[in-house]
Amino acid sequence: MKTAKRYLAMAVVAVMLGSVFGFAPVSAASMYPRSETLYTANSAPPTNANPFQGGNIIGLDGLIFEPLAMLNFMTGELKPWLAESWDWVEPNVFQVKLRSGLRWQDGEPLTAEDVKFSYEYYQEIGLRDWTALGLEEIKVVDDRTVEFVFDGTPNYQLWQLQLFYGWGQGALIIPKHIFKDVDPKQIPKMTFLGDEKKYLVGSGPYKLDEVVEQQKAILVRNDDWWGNDVFGKPAPKYIIQLYVKDNSQAANMFIKGDLDVGTYYIDIVQAKKQNPNLASWLEEPPYFPPVAPVLLYFNTKKPPMDNPQFRKAIAMAINPDQIVKNGPIGGKPAEIPFGTGLLQKWADKIDLDGLVEKYGWNYGDIAEANRILDELGMKKDSNGWRTYNGKEIELHLVTCAGCSDWISAAEIIQNQLRALGIKVVIDKYDWGAMMDRYHNGEFDLGLHWSGTFQPTAYAVYNALLSEGGVANFGNYTNSEAQGVLDEFSKTTDPNKEAEYVKKLSEIWLKDVPAVPVYMATLFYEANTKYWTNWPNEKNPYGVPIFWAKYGTWGTALALLGVKPAGEAPATTTESHTTSPSQSQETTSTPSSSTNEEGGGICGPALIVGLAVVPLLLRRRR
């Protein structure tokens, strides 16, 4: 059925917050008035304030150091920030114009020299390779204008992603007058705490005030922020990041009002019964927004998974309804083919429905799946199992031992494929060992995130279909797809872009390198007792993801948009805070936490990480 076919989805890479660790009580309520303090939490103790790599304090990117642009990945909007505008002024020259009046937290002006220095510094550290994108030179035109000059035809599609920062893309703008004397080779060894804290001079609305070991990190508002005149003064005077041990403790703290916002796997329905001030992205079940598809990957280099028809038969046996009903909290893959609707803006131009009708498949169509396998000569033996080359087909499905949601989905898929006569063995590994299996091709099937956190169709397809693509876990290769991607990278013409999106979508649907099986949700809880105007489905001005390293992907926008309880909500710019109670007693906590020995939820956080790690920064010739 056409409707069923519309559930096809591709996706993008990310990892949701699983378990979190320990938390020590917070006192000193008089020092941090509840009406001026916003409390959030992270899954690890704040031990590192390195803004370049390793830092695990919320706000290092976005609230302390800022990028040229902020990305709201829930809406795909790229919001001018330090940069006022940008454009290709020549085919190989990308010009960025800074806002006027920018200044560092020490009062020094922020200029184009700082932008040039920052991008070059990231290259010297070894975190970026701009030359792989064809970047030849960075020129300072005047205090507010910087030009990126490319050698030959740039990779336009990937370069536009370098305006914002995160997971292998872009750069935070840092002060030249502070970092010019810091050896880039020493950066990976630094924590930026203790004596090194003096280097944390950003341009953002908050400063790192204090880190209490194994307990909390405290940000204090920068009242002289340049953005006060542009975006409005942030509401919370303090933002305190607590170290919370696990989902159960987080649930207890939300119920008592000790946390204002967080990204935890709790039973929000039960929690709301004990604290009606709790809110989430959606007003009704499932409450949490679906953000990233989980894909069933095939090892496309290993028979019989190297046969697209075999892969399509497997796809037809998958029933997302059963997975969502009986498995992890999530949703069916949304319309076509990215799950989050990323291709919908192209739907009319590429005849998306027609592509799916012609090349797609119906989920749960066991009869057609059986017909395909019969046609391939994979007959059932006397035990009812399908055979290939005279042997029973036994597929090993690799998944993460600590990801209870993936394991649950894997067990349901195991049963669904049994109906085809295909035996599936689930192999559970820790994260590192699982990734080794993927990289070495030592698997038959595997569950992993795809790429929907990427804001463009090119970025997603590049991650999924290119050789070495960060989401290409099935080692899929297709010279035609690579050729289309190479041409796609060189254009900014919307008509040509539509042509390439259509071709890549057709290749995906025909070859089935992976199958979207369910949409993972982004767990998000907010307490409206002290702070209101949290982002939600009706007011998506920010992104409800509260982990370190996601500041410029919408977290900073969310924290800058909240307002004190009692104020009329606004849709854009202020932020506020909360402080935990001193009571340590526990109450009945509606936690949905998984087992305590590494069991967690593999959600869109770890994925986001994978999704944007170097998006195939190959030099385009």
Q: What is the pLDDT of residues 201-216, one digit of tens each?
A: 999 999 999 999 889 9
Structure tokens at 531: 């702070």
Residue 3 Rama label (left phi>0; alpha psi -120 to 50; beta)? alpha
HSE toward the beta carbon, residue 267, CA cutoff 13 A: 12
Cα(214)–Cα(217) distance, rounded to whole angstroms?
A: 9
Q: Which residue has the tokens 């076509």?
A: 336
DSSP alpha helix (H) spans, 445-493? 457-465, 479-488
The whole-chain average pLDDT of the chain stands at 84
- Please report the pLDDT score of residue 54 as a whole number: 80
- Please report the pLDDT score of residue 437 as a whole number: 96
- Please report the pLDDT score of residue 214 as a whole number: 86
- Please report the pLDDT score of residue 567 as a whole number: 60
Sign of torsion, CA 129 132 138 144?
A: negative
- Please report the pLDDT score of residue 171 as a whole number: 96
- Please report the pLDDT score of residue 590 as a whole number: 46
Structure tokens at 470: 């960060």
- Please report the pLDDT score of residue 249 as a whole number: 92
- Please report the pLDDT score of residue 132 as a whole number: 86
How far is the CA of 115 from the CAs of 11, 151, 422, 429, 523, in angstroms? 33, 20, 56, 43, 35
- Please report the pLDDT score of residue 93 as a whole number: 97
In this prediction the pTM is 0.81
- Please report the pLDDT score of residue 19 as a whole number: 29
- Please report the pLDDT score of residue 364 as a whole number: 92
Positions in the chain whose pLDDT score sits under 50? 1-28, 335-336, 338, 340, 568-599, 604-621
Q: Which domains does the chain have, with CATH numbers?
A: 2-11+290-521 (3.10.105.10), 22-285+527-593 (3.40.190.10)
Q: How many CB atoms lie within 10 A of CB 571?
A: 12
Q: How many CB atoms lie within 10 A of CB 440?
A: 9
- Please report the pLDDT score of residue 393 as a whole number: 98
Cα(380)–Cα(372) distance, rounded to whole angstroms?
A: 13
